[in-house]
């Protein structure tokens, strides 16, 4: 139906949500959809507040308030991580398809639940990893799936994205937090937020279906912190995969230099490289000497919204959904696997502060020697602790490497949910879980924390 125009509600209109406002208004102007409302408790602080009020778009402080007065076909969520699952559940409850920002959630178990509920309601939940919706990346993945590259061997990626204090203080103060005040897991970090795309991408391209990512078997981790946050701001992770391949993820917010994403994915019959700075696109060199340029994975960053608009009008089996909640689970599960790894506080003697911003009043905390060490890790395909040069000795001395951490257990299973939530404060999301689990399993949900042990009598 060519004239189908889904009604869209957007939750979160500041920060990254501004890109959604721009995209949905553009798509509205092009007759592809209609923005019917936005939700944000701090809407007035958004740079898009004025244009939204000028255009008469209703603004609400909570999704519940919006859904009391309106309906929508698609709900886009660009709110902080701790709201991803409760708002997705709420939107599904009110009959919406969902596009929820990455990462999936602070709790990887949510992927199984969201996917199962969406399926049952004939809805979809897209996880907003833009590279997983990019034509370039999907063309590469199709060639990998078709066997053009043979078996994966070594994948590695590096992102050096300095972030000053204003980044960690932004929004409602959730940056770098492990849990929200009500106990909802966030696990915000360089690996679970800004650079999450590049960790996810290594698992995504190795998925055995276009809409699946490969689940690591184990992960090695080195975590560092130099900012006043709960979680880490630099890391080296090495995921080991069932195929025998490994994937090295190197990322930091604590270097003076900004070095945009680079990756090298080595396969049996060819190597794929990408360097954002070089603007050459994703290039594959096959072992017979032929090359293929897949294009720029940054070419269309809001493609995810148009995937949703298209799919909302299609029958369940016709929908093209390359990145759903389930696709995002291996990334989220990797983050859970490293949740208890000791984070090393970098000693003052190895740090310096650079004042950033036009007024030079935004301190950036830098780890001395980290840039060179991380670049060496990338070149040699190794962890920081495996470097052997004198220059990195001071950094190596402070590391607490963790090796062969297993992926945490806990697929979609009613008992696992109840056990997990039993010792946590009551959340609205929890009540929704209970209700939705009851619907899913066809049984009334067990009461939290009230499960009786069977006696032998």
Ligand X SMILES: NC(=O)c1ccc[n+]([C@@H]2O[C@H](COP(=O)([O-])OP(=O)(O)OC[C@H]3O[C@@H](n4cnc5c(N)ncnc54)[C@H](O)[C@@H]3O)[C@@H](O)[C@H]2O)c1
Q: Is 409 exposed, middle or buried (0-12, 13-18, 19+ CB in 10 A)?
A: exposed
Q: Does 147 sit near ligand X (CB under 6 A)?
A: no
Residue nearer to ligand X on the CB measure, 50 or 208: 50
Q: Which stretch binds ligand X (CB under 6 A): 72-80, 222-230, 277-285, 397-405?
A: 72-80
Residue 357 CA, chain-centre distance (Å), reads: 27
Q: Does 107 sit near ligand X (CB under 6 A)?
A: no
- Least spacing, CB of residue 167 vs ligand X, in Å: 9
**Closest to 157 (Cα-Cα) out of 188, 223, 201:** 201
- Least spacing, CB of residue 156 vs ligand X, in Å: 21
Residue nearer to ligand X on the CB measure, 6 or 86: 86
Size of the site for ligand X (CB under 6 A): 25
**Closest to 326 (Cα-Cα) out of 135, 113, 84:** 113
Residue 218 CA, chain-centre distance (Å), reads: 19
Q: Does 302 sit near ligand X (CB under 6 A)?
A: no
- Least spacing, CB of residue 360 vs ligand X, in Å: 23
Q: Quote the CA–CA distance of 152 and 244 in Å, as a whole number.
A: 8
Q: Does 13 sit near ligand X (CB under 6 A)?
A: yes
Q: Does 261 sit near ligand X (CB under 6 A)?
A: no
Q: Single out the residue of 10, 79, 326, 429 in contact with ligand X (rule: CB under 6 A).
A: 79
Binding mask 332-371 for ligand X (x = CB under 6 A): ----------------------------------------
Residue nearer to ligand X on the CB measure, 46 or 184: 46
Q: Single out the residue of 106, 111, 128, 270 in contact with ligand X (rule: CB under 6 A).
A: 128
Q: Does 202 sit near ligand X (CB under 6 A)?
A: no
Residue nearer to ligand X on the CB measure, 126 or 344: 126
Q: Does 16 sit near ligand X (CB under 6 A)?
A: yes
Contacts with ligand X, residue ranges (CB under 6 A) = 11-17, 39-42, 46, 78-81, 83, 101-102, 128, 130, 170-172, 193
């Amino acid at each position: 139906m060519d004239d189908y125009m889904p009604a869209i509600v957007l939750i979160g209109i500041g920060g990254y949500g501004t890109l959604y406002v721009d995209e949905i208004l553009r798509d509205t102007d092009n007759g592809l959809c209609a923005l019917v409302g936005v939700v944000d408790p701090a809407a007035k602080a958004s740079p898009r507040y004025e244009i939204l009020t000028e255009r008469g778009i209703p603004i609400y402080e909570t999704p519940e308030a919006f859904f009391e007065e309106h309906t929508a076909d698609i709900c886009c969520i660009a709110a902080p991580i701790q709201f991803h699952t409760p708002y997705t559940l709420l939107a599904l409850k009110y009959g919406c398809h969902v596009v929820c920002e990455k990462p999936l959630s602070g709790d990887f178990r949510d992927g199984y639940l969201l996917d199962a509920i969406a399926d049952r309601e004939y809805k979809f939940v897209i996880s907003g990893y833009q590279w997983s919706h990019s034509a370039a990346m999907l063309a590469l993945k199709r060639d990998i799936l078709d066997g053009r590259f043979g078996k994966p061997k070594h994948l590695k990626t590096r992102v050096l994205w300095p972030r000053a204090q204003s980044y960690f203080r932004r929004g409602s103060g959730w940056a770098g937090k492990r849990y929200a005040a009500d106990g909802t897991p966030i696990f915000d970090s360089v690996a679970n937020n800004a650079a999450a795309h590049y960790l996810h991408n290594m698992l995504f391209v190795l998925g055995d279906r276009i809409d699946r990512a490969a689940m690591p078997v184990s992960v090695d981790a080195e975590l560092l912190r130099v900012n006043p946050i709960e979680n880490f701001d630099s890391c080296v992770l090495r995921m080991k995969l069932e195929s025998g391949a490994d994937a090295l993820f190197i990322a930091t917010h604590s270097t003076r230099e900004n070095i945009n994403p680079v990756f090298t994915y080595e396969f049996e019959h060819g190597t794929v490289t990408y360097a954002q700075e070089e603007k050459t696109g994703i290039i594959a060199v096959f072992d017979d000497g032929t090359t293929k340029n897949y294009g720029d994975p940054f070419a269309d960053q809001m493609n995810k919204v148009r995937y949703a608009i298209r799919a909302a009008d299609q029958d369940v089996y016709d929908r093209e959904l390359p990145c759903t909640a389930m696709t995002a689970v291996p990334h989220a599960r990797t983050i859970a696997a490293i949740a208890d790894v000791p984070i090393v506080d970098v000693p003052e003697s190895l740090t310096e502060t650079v004042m950033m911003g036009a007024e030079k009043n935004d301190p950036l905390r830098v780890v001395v020697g980290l840039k060179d060490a991380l670049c060496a890790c990338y070149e040699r395909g190794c962890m920081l602790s495996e470097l052997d040069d004198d220059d990195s000795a001071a950094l190596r001395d402070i590391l607490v490497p963790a090796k062969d951490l297993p992926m945490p257990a806990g697929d979609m299973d009613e008992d696992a949910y109840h056990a997990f939530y039993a010792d946590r404060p009551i959340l609205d999301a929890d009540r929704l879980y209970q209700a939705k689990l009851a619907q899913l399993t066809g049984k009334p949900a067990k009461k939290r924390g009230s499960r009786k042990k069977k006696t032998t009598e």
